[in-house]
Structure 1
Amino acid sequence: MAITNQERVGKAMDLLRAGLAPFVERKFAYCLCGIADREGAPGALFDEAEG
């Protein structure tokens, strides 16, 4: 049986989620620990939300 486009996209999204999870966790931990409040520290993750 052939794999459907929905199954292909679902598999790709699962792989993307698994690959990006460590990066996103590091960024959130970095910002949530108050480091982003220091001068010169990147805080772009929350800049749009505070807006």
Structure 2
Amino acid sequence: MLVSIITANIIVSLISLIGGVLILKKQLLSKKVIPYLVAFAAGVMLTTVFF
């Protein structure tokens, strides 16, 4: 059980890292996408707190 949790965590972290690098490499894309990602992250945090 612990091995599957650690494996899933590593896989998700690598996907997140790759996505972050791709967004930061493209300046124009990052200026368009970052406000939506921040709004999404804020919504996820609020949902986690209240539900």
Instruction: State the TM bucket, normalised to the shorter chain.
Output: 0.3 to 0.5
The structure with higher relative contact order (CA 8 Å, sep 6+) is 1
TM superposition score normalised by structure 2: 0.42
Larger Rg: 1
Larger helix percent: 2
TM superposition score normalised by structure 1: 0.42
